[in-house]
């Protein structure tokens, strides 16, 4: 009993002590379509069997008057069902404007990742484009990460190359 307790304690100390970091690279593909709107994008971490998710970022039309951009948030339908419908968007530190075609790097640090219980996670990214399509990619993530841990995925239409690099 005492042994288990001390093991749990030391684990609890090890995790938050690290200045862990998750660097995500997202490619928004350039498209030749008659009507183009930048996609809405949501990123989160989820763990099998755990209904709670860790929201990382939501890119949407936050600048429209009267929060009109929120009308299309439900098009990121897995994100919407898992967590979006529970939130009052915009959320500080979570929502930001949509991004133009190209490759974007975002870094999530302790503020988001602290308190993450050790385990096997999925990094999930979902993109939905007005008058366009929708795509969802998953990258397995181990937490806490080993040094140099990395994962990649490649989208087919709404997302290009996506990678996740973790620093313990």
Chain contacts with other proteins (rule: CB under 8 A): 66-68, 70-74, 77-78, 80-81, 84-86, 89
Residue whose CB is less far from other proteins, 74 or 104: 74
Picking from 100, 102, 158, the residue whose alpha carbon sits closest to that of residue 134 is 158
Q: 136 preceded by cis ω (within 30°)?
A: no
Residue whose CB is less far from other proteins, 60 or 108: 60
Rounded-to-integer distance, Cα 144 and Cα 153, Å: 20
Instruction: Supply the minimum distance, in Å, between the C-beta of residue 62 and other proteins.
Output: 12
Residue whose CB is less far from other proteins, 83 or 163: 83
Q: 144 preceded by cis ω (within 30°)?
A: yes
Instruction: Supply the minimum distance, in Å, between the C-beta of residue 50 and other proteins.
Output: 17
10 Å Cβ neighbour count for 101?
14
Instruction: Supply the minimum distance, in Å, between the C-beta of residue 77 and other proteins.
Output: 6
C-alpha to C-alpha distances, 44 to 64, 139, 143, 155, nearest whole angstrom: 24, 11, 14, 17
Instruction: Supply the minimum distance, in Å, between the C-beta of residue 88 and other proteins.
Output: 9
State the DSSP H helix or E strand holding residue 44, giving kind and residue range, or none if neither. strand 40-47
Residue whose CB is less far from other proteins, 86 or 105: 86
Residue whose CB is less far from other proteins, 54 or 58: 58
């Amino acid at each position: 009993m005492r042994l288990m307790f001390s093991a749990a304690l030391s684990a609890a100390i090890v995790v938050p002590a690290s200045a862990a970091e998750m660097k995500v690279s997202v490619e928004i593909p350039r498209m030749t379509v008659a009507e183009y709107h930048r996609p809405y994008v949501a990123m989160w971490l989820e763990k099998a069997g755990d209904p709670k998710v860790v929201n990382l970022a939501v890119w949407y039309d936050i600048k429209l008057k009267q929060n009109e951009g929120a009308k299309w948030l439900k098009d990121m339908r897995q994100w919407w069902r898992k967590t979006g419908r529970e939130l009052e968007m915009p959320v500080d530190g979570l929502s930001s404007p949509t991004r133009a075609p190209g490759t974007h790097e975002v870094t999530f640090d302790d503020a988001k990742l602290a308190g993450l219980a050790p385990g096997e996670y999925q990094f999930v990214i979902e993109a939905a484009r007005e008058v366009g399509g929708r795509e969802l990619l998953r990258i397995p993530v181990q937490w806490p990460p080993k040094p140099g841990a990395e994962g990649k995925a490649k989208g087919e239409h709404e997302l290009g190359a996506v990678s996740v690099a973790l620093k313990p």
